Structure 1
C-alpha cells in the first residue's frame, strides 16, 4: 500500500500517534495557524472591517488571542511583577478593539511572539502542574492547553466566517 501524503500544515494529523502532550500542542498550534492564515494577505482596512453586529473583526480576533495567550501562559504560569490575570468580564470588548496604529503585520507579529512565548513557558512544566486561577481555583497545564484549544478554535471559526464575508476565501488552509 502506498504511503499517504499528508499536508505538513495539519499538525494534528502528524501527531496522530504522539503522546498526550504532543497531541494537545499539535491541535493548539493548528488552530493558531488557521487564525493567522485567515488574516494574512488582507489589507489593514479589510482586516479591521466590521462585518457582523458585534465589534468582532479579523484584526480584533488576532489582537484578542494575543492577550489570551499572554494571560493564560506567562501571566498565569510565571507572573512577573505587577502582572495580573485578566478576567473576561473585566476586559469586555477591549482586547478586540483595533486602533489606527494596529496593522495586520504588527498584530500577526505580536501574536506569533505571544504564541512562541506561550510554548516556551509551557515547555517548562508537566501537564499535571497546577497553578491558582482567580475564577476557577486551581487549574493544571493540561486544562490550560485544552481551554486554549477551545478558545483558539472558537475564534478560528469566527475568523473563517469573517474571511469568507471579506473575500470569499474558505477552508482551514
Structure 2
C-alpha cells in the first residue's frame, strides 16, 4: 500500500471511539509490512548501486589499462622513429659509398688498361671489373629495396630492415675485397 492509504487505514482505526488490542495489532502489522516493503526497496536500490559501482570500477580499470597501452605505444613509436632516422642515415652513407665506388672504378679503368702487365691479363681484369659492376648494381638494387622499405615502415619490421643493412654491408665488403684483387 502507498503511504497515503496506510495513513488513511491508521487514521480510521485511531478514530474509533473504542479501540481494541486487535485494532492496535493491525496498525502495528500494517506499519511492519510497510517497513518491510521499504526495507526491500532500499535493499534492491543498494544492490543496484553496488552493481553500478562495480561497473564503474571495471570501466575505470579499463581506462587505466588503455592509458598504459597508449603510453607504451607512444614510447615504442618514439623508439621506432629514432631507428628509422638511424637507418636513413646509414642509407645515405651507403648511397655515398656506391657513388664513390663507381667514381673510383671509372678512374682506375684507364690506369688498368694502360698497364702492360694488366694488358696480358685483360680477360681476368675484364671479368673482375664486370664482377665489380655486377656487385655495384646488386648493391644499388639492395639499396633501392632498403629505401623502399624505409618509406613503407608499416609493412616491414625493423628486424627485416636491419637484415637488409647487414646484407648491404656484406656486399660492400665483397666489393672492397674484389677491388683489392685488381692489381694496379
Which bin holds the TM-score, normalised by the shorter protein?
0.3 to 0.5
| Structure with more of its chain in helix, by fraction | 2
Q: Which has the higher strand share?
A: 1
Could you state the TM-score of these two structures normalised by the residue count of structure 2?
0.36
Q: For CA contacts below 8 A with separation 6 or more, give which structure has more relative contact order.
A: 1
| TM, length-normalised to structure 1 | 0.37
Larger radius of gyration: 2
